Amino acid sequence: MPSWIGAVILPLSGLLLSLPARAEVKARSCGEVRQAYGAKGFSLADIPYQEIAGEHLRICPQEYTCCTTEMEDKLSQQSKLEFENLVEETSQFVRTTFVSRHKKFDEFFRELLENAEKSLNDMFVRTYGMLYMQNSEVFQDLFTELKRYYTGGNVNLEEMLNDFWARLLERMFQLINPQYHFSEDYLECVSKYTDQLKPFGDVPRKLKIQITRAFIAARTFVQGLTVGREVANRVSKVSPTPGCIRALMKMLYCAYCRGLPTVRPCNNYCLNVMKGCLANQADLDTEWNLFIDAMLLVAERLEGPFNIESVMDPIDVKISEAIMNMQENSMQVSAKVFQGCGQPKPAPALRSARSAPENFNTRFRPYNPEERPTTAAGTSLDRLVTDIKEKLKLSKKVWSTLPYTICKDESVTAGTSNEEECWNGHSKARYLPEIMNDGLTNQINNPEVDVDITRPDTFIRQQIMALRVMTNKLKNAYNGNDVNFQDTSDESSGSGSGSGCMDDVCPTEFEFVTTEAPAVDPDRRGVDSSAAQPGPSLLSGSLVCVALALQRLCR
C-alpha cells in the first residue's frame, strides 16, 4: 500500500473516532429556563445559555444543569418567600373570619350598651328634667362599671351589683323618709337589711342572674374572638427551618436546574414537603378544634338564655319595676328598719312623710317600642351570632389541612390526575414514597424534609397554651361562671361572680347567688324573724330610683 494512502487514512480514522465524543458533550439549550427565570424578575446575567456541569450545586442534583451557584441561592430564597406567602394566603380565610367578626361583635356590644344607657337617660331627662340630672351619676356609674367589665377590667360583677343596690337602698330610704336625718352609720345599718327585706322585690335577683350570665358570656366570647384572631395571625406567619428551605427549593425549582421549568411537582411529593415544613402547625389543630367547639357552645348560649340584647334592651323597664316595688313597700320597709337600726333623729324644719303626693305609687310608663333606639350596629345578636357560628365551623381542622389546601393549588403542583408527568425531586416521573401522617412525631421518616422531632416549636407551643386557657374560660362562661372571680371559699353557696345557670332557663328555685344576710337576733333587734329570709340581691341600676322618688316627693 502506497505510503500516501496510509497518511490519509490515519487522520480520517482519528476524526471519525472523535465525532461520538463531541456529539456526547453537546449541551442542551437553557432557553426555556432563561425565559421562566427572567419572568420572575431575575437578571439573565446569572443564567447560562446552555447546560453546564453541576458539581457546584448544593441542593439540586449535581448533573448537567442550567443553574449557577447564584441562581440556586436566589431560587432558594424565592422558594422560601413563596412558601411563606402560600401559608399566609391559604390561612387568610380563618384570619379574616376572626378579624372581621371580632370587630363586628365588639362594635355591636359597645353600641348596645350605649343605646341602653342613652335610652334610659333620655327617658328620665324628659320625665324628670333637672331632678334626674342632679342624681344621674348613680346610673352612669353603673354603666361605667359594666363597660369596664366588658373591656376586661377587674370588676366583680356580683359585688358591683350588690354595692349598687345597697347604695340605691340608702338613697331611696332617705327619699321616702324626708322627715328624718340619717347618719352614715345609720345608712350602713340600713344597707344590711337589703337581703332580708327585699325592698326592690324579686327584680334584683332575676336581673342579676340575667346580667351576670349575659355579660360573662359576651365578654368571654369576644375574648375568644380576640385569641382566635391573634393565634391565626401569628401561626400564619411561618419561619421555615433550613431543612424545610432545602426541601422547598428542591421541590419548586430544581426542575428549573434540570431544564424542566414547566414541569410542576407531584401532588404527593408536595404533601410530604408541606407536612414536614408545617409539622408544628398541624400539632396546633387538636387544641384549635377544642377551642372552636367551646366557642360554638358559648355562641348557643348567646342565642338563648344568655342573650345580652334581650337583657339590655328592656333594662329601663326592669329598673322602673324595682323602684316601684320599693315605693309600694316603703312603709313596711321603713318600720322594720326602724326596729332593727333604731329610731332616727327628726330632720329640722322638714315636712312629715304624709306630705308625699297621693299618686306616689303611680307606675312609670316607658317609651313606646317604636321610640326605642334601633338595633345596635345595624344587626341583631341572633343574626350576628348565626353568621359567626357558620364561619367558625368552617375554620375547624384548618391547620392540619394546610398541606392539602396548598398542594391542591394548580399553580403549585401538577395535581392528582397527572402523576406520571410531574417533578418528583429528581426527574419527571411518578412520586413513589408514601405520604406521612400529620404532626411533628410522624415526620421522623419524612423522605423530603429533615425534621427534628425532639425540638417542638416553642412559639407554636405558646399558641397551644393560649388556646387551652381560652377554652377553659369559654367552658366556664358556658356554665355561667366567671373564671376571673370565682369564689372558691364556699363552693356550696354558689357564690362568686357569675356562678349559676347550667340549664337553658334558670328556675327561680335555683339560687344563683345565695349570700346569707347578716345574722339578726329578732328578740334583741326587734325585727320579725319571718323577714330574715336569705336572698340574693341583684342589679339593675340607675338613679332612676332617686329621680322617681324625688319627682313624686316634691310634687
Mean pLDDT of 402-410: 93
Rounded Cα distance, 455 and 200, in Å: 62
Looking at residue 468, its pLDDT comes to: 96
Looking at residue 377, its pLDDT comes to: 54
Rounded Cα distance, 477 and 225, in Å: 14
Give yes or no for a contact between 424 and 137, defined as CB atoms under 8 angstroms apart.
no
Q: How many other CB atoms are there within 10 angstroms of residue 71's CB atom?
A: 22
pLDDT above 90: residue 530: no
Q: Is 470 helix (H, G, I), strand (E, B) or coil?
A: helix
Cell of 530: 319571718
pLDDT above 80: residue 368: no
pLDDT above 90: residue 7: no
Predicted confidence band at 277 (pLDDT cuts at 50, 70, 90)? very high
- Position of cell 325585727? 527
pLDDT above 80: residue 215: yes
pLDDT above 80: residue 552: no
Rounded Cα distance, 137 and 117, in Å: 12
Which residues, 6 or more positions from 321, have their beta carbon under 8 angstroms from its beta carbon?
Answer: 201, 203
Between residues 40 and 125, which one has the greater pLDDT?
40
- Return the minimum-mean-pLDDT range out of 27-36, 53-62, 142-151, 503-512: 503-512
Q: What is the percent of the chain with per-residue pLDDT over 70, rounded to a whole number? A: 75
Cell of 261: 421549568
Q: Is 50 helix (H, G, I), strand (E, B) or coil?
A: strand
- Return the minimum-mean-pLDDT range out of 238-252, 378-392, 467-481: 378-392
Between residues 24 and 52, which one has the greater pLDDT?
52
Q: Taking the CA of residue 179 as centre, how many other CA atoms within 13 Å lie in the half-sphere pointing to its CB? A: 8
Mean pLDDT of 87-96: 93
Looking at residue 305, its pLDDT comes to: 79
pLDDT above 50: residue 302: yes
Predicted confidence band at 384 (pLDDT cuts at 50, 70, 90)? very high
C-alpha distance from residue 394 to each of 91, 99, 180, 235, 388 (Å): 12, 15, 65, 17, 10
DSSP state of 27: P
C-alpha distance from residue 203 to each of 199, 280, 355 (Å): 10, 52, 28
Ranges 258-262, 357-361, 376-380, 418-422, most confident = 258-262
Rounded Cα distance, 518 and 195, in Å: 9
Rounded Cα distance, 207 and 422, in Å: 67
Buried b / exposed e across 368-379, counting CB within 10 Å, b at 16+? eeeebeebbbee
* pLDDT tens by residue, 429-467: 999 999 999 999 999 999 999 999 898 999 999 999 999
Looking at residue 128, its pLDDT comes to: 61
Q: Is 459 helix (H, G, I), strand (E, B) or coil?
A: helix
pLDDT above 80: residue 216: yes
Buried b / exposed e across 395-425, counting CB within 10 Å, b at 16+? bbbbbbebbbbbbeeeebbbbeeebeebbbb
Ranges 189-198, 286-295, 480-489, most confident = 286-295
The amino acid that residue 296 corresponds to is L
Considering the entire predicted model, what is its pTM?
0.75
C-alpha distance from residue 149 to each of 11, 473, 497 (Å): 100, 15, 12
Average pLDDT, the chain: 78
Predicted confidence band at 271 (pLDDT cuts at 50, 70, 90)? very high
Give yes or no for a contact between 501 and 477, defined as CB atoms under 8 angstroms apart.
no
Sort 127 into a burial class: Cβ within 10 Å, 0-12 / 13-18 / 19+: middle
Distance in Å from the first CA to the final CA of the chain? 149
Q: Taking the CA of residue 382 as centre, how many other CA atoms within 13 Å lie in the half-sphere pointing to its CB? A: 3
- Return the minimum-mean-pLDDT range out of 166-180, 305-319, 495-509: 495-509
Mean pLDDT of 349-370: 42
Residue-level length of the chain: 555
Looking at residue 3, its pLDDT comes to: 52
What is the secondary structure of 259-271 as a DSSP string?
A: T-TTPPBPHHHHH
Rounded Cα distance, 172 and 166, in Å: 10
Q: At what angle do helices 315-328 and 157-176 cross, to 10 degrees?
A: 40
Closest CA to 123 of 326, 377, 320: 320
Q: Largest Cα–Cα distance of the chain, in whole Å?
A: 158
Mean pLDDT of 529-539: 33
pLDDT above 80: residue 531: no
Mean pLDDT of 332-353: 78
Looking at residue 74, its pLDDT comes to: 93
Looking at residue 2, its pLDDT comes to: 53
Mean pLDDT of 359-370: 40
Between residues 125 and 528, which one has the greater pLDDT?
125
* pLDDT tens by residue, 498-529: 333 333 333 322 222 223 333 333 333 333 33
Q: At what angle do helices 203-235 and 137-150 cross, to 10 degrees?
A: 40
SS (H, E, C) 316-373: HHHHHHHHHHHHHCHHHHHHHHHHHHCCCEECCCCCCHHHCCCCCCCCCCCCCHHHCC
- Return the minimum-mean-pLDDT range out of 24-28, 408-412, 436-440, 474-478: 24-28
Rounded Cα distance, 529 and 523, in Å: 9
Looking at residue 262, its pLDDT comes to: 92
